[in-house]
Each structure stands twice: as structure tokens, then as C-alpha cells.
Amino acid sequence: MPTSISERLRARASQEGFSGIRIASADAGPEQGERLRSFLEKSYHGEMDWLAETAERRAAPKSLWPKAQSAIVLAMNYGQEIDAFERLERTSQGVISAYALNRDYHDVVKGKLKKIATWFASATKSEVKVFVDTAPLMEKPLAHRAGLGWQGKHTNLVSRELGSWFFIGTILTDKALPEDGTETDHCGSCQACLDICPTKAFPAPYQLDARRCISYLTIEHKGHIDREFRKPMGNRIYGCDDCLAVCPWNKFASEASEAKLRAREDLVSPGLDELAQLDDAAFRKLFVGSPVKRVGRDRFVRNVLIAIGNSGNPDFVPVAEHLLRDASPLVRAMAVWALAQLMPQEDFQQARNMHVMTEPDLAVKAEWSSP
């Protein structure tokens, strides 16, 4: 029977389905804030203004909550029994990142964290706060210091026991707990994650320029996606897993034990033509409870149309043509681009002559002019 509070905490975490748990001091070294400042100064955060707005609080847990003494950092596995690279070869089907193939992890992980935190607060007469990727808390550096893993050259957390297919959740407490100690970097000379990136989003090892990252472009970026990135996106319509999937440490990864995180069959390889035809109501119904829903229908169909343009499948031409009349300029613009990739030049010019004069949006008109 576990006797110490730390042992009882680990037992509780295992009962709730967490794959790992480590403890660190809530004090942060100055390097954490320095790395964040460098990232922001280089504008690598793109449109994610909230990173700059919360930078001071984000630099250290105690900046967020001065009473914090310890950080309990937990990992929940979301590994899937699917081949990440094989899906990319099915170019008439869309690829959604593995973490988003079922329920929103914020809800799943936070619900379980709250159960543990409530028990811990009662057992220790302490105060607690729970975080899952929504507050200004730098969870990956904190997880590194706790010994849960290390930040690899792709900046994501890697574990010798879990690979890198896992979510991080954190409980801050005003109770001082014994620390587990930090983890060592085990990347060595390997740079598979850097080499495989389709858009060259890593200017150097351990640095990410989010503005070039397909996950950022398909999820966070609200406007038109630059031409430079459209071909490299392939059929990735929500997120990108390449740098995770290629990591050799994932030979130790396993399938998610939590049923709500296992892939929904209808989202593993959905047809691009069906996705492109979703209206707002159908989009919300398909992705109810999913993290995909947060991007909204227009941005999602924008992504799908880029994948359609990359498919090489002329059977998708009628779908793209129909979307030339869509209410969203984001959608119309990428419908034009998709048709430019799939249509013979003569047919594209005929379509241009039919639509360009009545198109009110300048960005969409520019797509007609620059096939």
C-alpha cells in the first residue's frame, strides 16, 4: 500500500489513466523566460498575440500564481494504431492530426486532473490549480524540469518510456513536495524531425518558427495561406504529425488507454469531397466534442480545398467549382487555387472569364490572376 502523499498521488494518477507523473518545484530558472523572449522577438509566434500579451506571467509558474510551491505534471497517452505516413499517401482523403481524432483533450484530461486535484487538496489541506494548455503556463519546460521527458529538437516533449504521443496536464499546489529531478536530453545527433518537416519550420535545432508550421497554418492562422506552403501541406487538413511520427523514441509508444482519445473511424481517412461540402451545421455536427471544431467551418474548408488541389484528382473539380459561390472569401480563394491545380489551362481560363468580373474580394481576384 502506498504510504507517502507522493506515492498515493502516483497511484491516483494511474487509476485515472495517466501514463506518467513527475513533480517539480514551481520555481523557474531565468532561461525559461529568456527562450520565450527570443521566440517572441523573432516573431516566430505569428498571429498568436496571446503569447506576447501573457509573456510576463508565462515566464514562470509563480508569476501566474505566487503561492505555488510545487508542480505536479502528468502525461496522458494518445497514441493511435494507425500509420501516420501511410495516410499521407491517400491523397483523396484528408489527414487530421492524431491528437484530434476523437474528443477534445482539454475536456478529457482536465476532467481527470480535477478529480486528482480535488482529492489531493482534501488529503493535504492545500490549495490547487489545474491547467491543460489553456493558461499562460509553459508546460513543456516544466515537464522537462519535472523529469517527464525532454524537449526534443522539434520543441515537443519526448519520453524514453512514452515516446511523444502524449498530452501534458499540470496541477500547481501551495504544498511543497519532493522533486523528482529533471530529464536529460537524449536526442543525440539525430535530426530526423528537422529533416522531415515539409515547410522547413525549424530554423535551428530546438527552435520553431510557428509561421511556417502546418499545425499553425491549418489551426491558428485565420487568413489566406501563402502559396509557398500550399503544395507542402499535401492532404494535411488539421495539424501535422510528421516531426512526431518520425521520432525513433516512438518505438516505445502505445495506443491510448482512454477510449475518448482513440481515433474515431470516420475521422481517420475522410474523403475530401465529402468534407468540402460541409456547411456550418454539418461541420459542427461532425466535429461535436472535437478540437477541430474550434477552427470553424470556413477555415477548415479552406484547408480541405488546398488538399483537393494537391490530390491530382480531376473528379474533385465539380466540388471546387461549386465552392466558387461560397459566402466565405477564404473558401472561394482556395476553390480557385484548387481548380488551377486540377483543370486544364484552357478550362481554367474559361472559368476565370465567367467568375472574375463579379468577384468582389480582392484576394480572391488575385488567385484568379496567379494560378
b/e code 158-168 from CB counts within 10 Å (16+ = b): bbeebbbbbbb
Pairwise CA distance, residues 7 & 23, whole Å: 11
Pairwise CA distance, residues 155 & 140, whole Å: 8
Whether 107 sits among the annotated catalytic residues: the reply is no
Q: At what angle do helices 329-342 and 296-311 cross, to 10 degrees?
A: 10
- Give pLDDT, residue 30: 58
- Which tens digits make up the pLDDT trace of 179-234? 999 999 999 999 999 999 999 999 999 999 999 999 999 999 999 999 999 999 99
| Cα dist from 303 to 52, 222, 238, 276, 338, whole Å | 27, 11, 7, 9, 11
Q: In the chain, how long is the greatest CA-to-CA distance?
A: 77
Q: Are 137 and 217 in contact (CB under 8 A)?
A: no
**How many residues would you count in the chain?**
371
Helical (H) or strand (E) element with 167: strand 166-173
Pairwise CA distance, residues 56 & 59, whole Å: 6
- Give pLDDT, residue 27: 87
Q: Which of 27, 104, 133, 279 is catalytic?
A: 133
Question: Looking at the DSSP assignment, which residues form a beta bridge with residue 93?
Answer: 271
Pairwise CA distance, residues 97 & 164, whole Å: 13
Please tell me the number of Cα atoms within 13 Å of 66 on its side-chain side. Answer: 0
Phi-psi region of 43 (alpha: psi -120 to 50; beta: other; left: phi over 0): left
- Give pLDDT, residue 123: 95
Q: Are 128 and 33 in contact (CB under 8 A)?
A: no
Residue 168 in 3-state DSSP?
A: strand
Of residues 160, 164, 163, 205, the one with CA closest to residue 183: 160
pLDDT under 70: residue ranges of the chain:
1-2, 28-31, 371
Residue 263 has what DSSP assignment? P
Pairwise CA distance, residues 369 & 108, whole Å: 46
- pTM of this prediction? 0.95
Please tell me the number of Cα atoms within 13 Å of 124 on its side-chain side. Answer: 19
| Cα dist from 62 to 27, 126, 129, 138, whole Å | 7, 16, 12, 12
- Give pLDDT, residue 2: 59
Pairwise CA distance, residues 151 & 144, whole Å: 7
Strand-strand pairing, 70-77 and 20-25: antiparallel
Strand-strand pairing, 20-25 and 95-96: unpaired
| Cα dist from 154 to 247, 257, 271, whole Å | 10, 25, 30
